[in-house]
Structure 1
């Protein structure tokens, strides 16, 4: 019942991480910091422990949103914004996540624990962080529960999917001069810090008015969007650039392998299909004019979506490290498909079978969240079980190979280096 076919387990031993990072900020500023930061961690700390620590910090940030703004789950824009100091903790937490996410690979090389398990664990945590930060950043920008938040979710997940898709077809993780894991995260950290100082209302200012250029010729012909919406438009352009860059990288790889450069493009349709399913569910025509986006179901809806997405990209990266076929279909989307179809039955003159009221819709969305969580938890546990048992390693314990090539527990008095 595992996710790795028996005949593909041998490929785990052949896997080696390959990556390219062209970011100047990463090379000249962050990487020297990360190289120093990793030395603060004893060699007895497993790389996956560092990764999980970073994710835990982000999850705590998410819980502070729910604690200090509980009405965000029931009121459209929340009863009131969280205290300003909370946004500072979000910025610090995200920066720590980025730093811990960057040094887990360095720790893996220091301890000799680099391998497919670390790649899977790191990727899984990144997938979960993507949705959490989307919700937090949208709240910090004052977007609340809106289609702009949905657009942000789609854009961030699309970027992540593209990166995973590209890594599968090229065999390496490619980060350009401007990438989400480096510059993108630091931009969001900056948003948190600005919001902490000025408050979410800062982002409601018109961009050209804020820049004092609204009176200039031609500029006054362009829509004077608020700062928060302008940031979303900027993100859309960034997504377009990433799509082009990823395609060019994949195209070069396919030409080297002498396969059709159009075939990998078909593997983009799973994400497009699932995004359309979620949009169809969100925009369903309701006879009582109650939409998920305006209800207490919106945040759990995004979380369920994020968990289902994490399951999908998790299987993609698993296919990469085990050299197995690209997973086109993922069964976890069946629940969302059912929800979208049920909610849209009024389009053919029928009443929803399940979502007959806002209460029923909210219950159904929460059940979807629970099912999505259990499905992803099952995926994670089975993959960890298969990899650790086959390779003879542990997930959260540093081990060393002996003279016979067998993994053993590292000595407890291992010193730092």
Structure 2
């Protein structure tokens, strides 16, 4: 079942010749986090495989998502009230009851920060145990491409989707903005050969951890207030996400790519080939957006499942891009999941009475297909390099 060969001989040969190149210029990362991670990794036993750290960190972000799914599946808990009261615009909402236990927010914060730390030390553990290689990087970035949706999906529970917040449709676009920002970094590497680690990652992890902690102290009612006029804290969160993408990540990615052509330090692909990885993601976004806007039910009926669907589709597209850039192979222009997604969209719009069944079937197919792809690729690379994903082989003396 998990022996399907997704990687060609050319992919595997490309991985044999792969050399990791990255640049991290974030002051928070360079001056604070890396010294911290250098200390933390010393407490990790040398027999612990780096991929174990990576996978545990990923599972902690999934656990955050599952815990909030249990307490707040519909993103309505933050809007629960005991009774309605008129409140001044500068004051938090009165008559509010906390459906999500406030102690849970502390747990979520701890899980998130531990996941962030494990993501920071897995590479250091690999170098420490002399087990660095393409599998570890692919495993790390592949799981990161999935985590990028889980964290904002958790943060949305703080604001909810009713009063003083933003609609699921607007959160849908915020989610895509975050996914695209992640994708741009790897599209940039596809063309430059260098992974320029974005500044926003470290700041977003610290901010998210602090917000969870603060919510544990104050509760979700703290966010039920206006900043000025009719603009709320949720609106500020929305603006910040878009500003980060439009004014920082995108210009930097374009500039670094331009510079690699000017100095002839990158892959020197033609314009058509350089843009090739973008079409797969763009086509997914277009079809999903048509479905959401033409539907009478999405995204309001089940925004959490919708976020899971687009997060999974995105991760599959991103993982295939990462495989292509690491193996120095041509990226595919269309992801095969686009076809069942398009069929599901047409079917649900033509027969709206079956839309929810089609929607959940498509979500399930995407998750299962992505798990199958990831598992098969990891197993194939383990066989090729004669290593174990979660175990360090003893070296012969």
Bin for the TM-score computed over the shorter chain:
0.7 to 0.9
Deviation at 1:365, TM superposition (A): 1.9
1:239 aligned onto 2:215: no
Alignment partner of 1:124 is 2:142: yes
1:151 Cα deviation from its structure 2 partner: 2.0
Using the alignment, how far apart are the partners of 2:306 and 2:331 within structure 1?
27
Matched, 1:254 2:272: no
- For 1:12-161, what aligned pairs fall within 5 Å after superposition? 12-70=15-73, 72=74, 81-143=99-161, 146-161=168-183
Tell me the CA shift for residue 73 of structure 1.
7.5
Q: Distance in 1 between matches of 2:295 and 2:72?
A: 29
Q: 1:164 aligns with which of 186, 195, 200?
A: 186
For residues 74 and 363 of structure 1, what CA distance do their matches in structure 2 show?
23
2:369 paired with 1:369: no
Per-residue deviation, 1:390: 0.9
How far the C-alpha of 1:69 sits from its partner, in A, is: 2.7
Runs of 5+ unmatched residues, structure 1? 209-222, 345-351, 404-417
| 1:189 aligns with one of 209, 215, 218 | 209
Distance 2:335 2:79 in 1: 33
Alignment coverage as a number of residue pairs: 370
| Cα deviations by residue, 1:36-89 (Å, 9 ceiling, x for unpaired) | 11111111000000011111111221121122235x279996796411121222
Query: Whole-Å Cα distance in 2 between the matches of residues 28 and 75 of structure 1?
Result: 39
Confirm or deny: 8 A CA contact 1:131 1:153 kept in the other structure.
Answer: yes
Instruction: Find the partner of 1:386 among 356, 362, 380.
Output: 380
**Alignment partners' CA distance in 2, 1:306 and 1:132:** 8
2:389 partner SS? coil
Q: How far apart are 1:260 and its partner, in Å?
A: 4.0
Contact 2:62 2:150 in 1 (8 A): yes
Q: Give the superposed CA RMSD.
A: 2.3
Q: In the alignment, which residue of structure 1 is the partner of 2:87?
A: none
1:340 Cα deviation from its structure 2 partner: 2.3
Q: Quick one: distance in 1 between partners of 2:381 and 2:295?
A: 46
Q: How does 1:316-331 map to 2 (within 5 A)?
A: 316-331=321-336
- Show CA shifts across 1:354-379 (max 9, x none): x32xxx32222221121111111111
| Residue 198, structure 1, aligned to residue 218, structure 2 | yes
* Conserved? CA contact 1:300–1:369, under 8 Å: yes
1:221-249 Cα distance to aligned partner (Å, 9 max, x none): xx651011111111101101211111111
Cross-structure match for 1:293: 299
Normalising by structure 1, report the TM-score. 0.83
Question: Following the alignment from structure 1 to structure 2, what is the Cα–Cα distance between the partners of residues 272 and 236?
Answer: 18
Secondary structure of the 1:283 match is: helix
1:293 match: secondary structure:
coil
How far 1:141 moved relative to its partner? 2.8
The aligned counterpart of 2:289 is 279
Shift of residue 318 of structure 1?
Answer: 0.7
2:11–2:327 CA contact under 8 A, matched in 1? yes
SS at match of 1:207: strand
Residue 148 of structure 1: how far off its partner (Å):
2.7
Query: 1:37, 1:103 within 8 Å by CA — same for their partners in 2?
Result: yes
TM-score, structure 2 as length reference: 0.87
Structure 1 residues 81 and 232: CA distance shift in structure 2, 3 A: farther
* Superimposed CA distance per residue, residues 332-355 of structure 1 (whole angstroms, 9 cap, x where no aligned partner): 1222222222344xxxxxxx23x3
Mapped contact 1:277–1:337 kept (Cα < 8 A)? yes
1:269 to 275, 279, 283: 279
Aligned mates of 1:253, 1:401 — CA distance in 2: 40
Q: How far apart are the structure 1 equivalents of 2:11 and 2:272?
A: 26
Q: Secondary structure at the match of 1:265?
A: helix
**Structure 2: stretches of 5+ with no match in the other structure:** 82-97
Residues 251 and 261, structure 1, Cα contact 8 Å, conserved in 2: no
Q: 1:259 to 1:63 in 2, by over 3 A?
A: closer
Structure 2 CA distance for partners of 1:59 and 1:251, relative to 1, 3 Å: same
Q: 1:85 to 1:116 in 2, by over 3 A?
A: same
What CA distance in whole angstroms lies between the structure 2 residues aligned with 1:195 and 1:387? 42
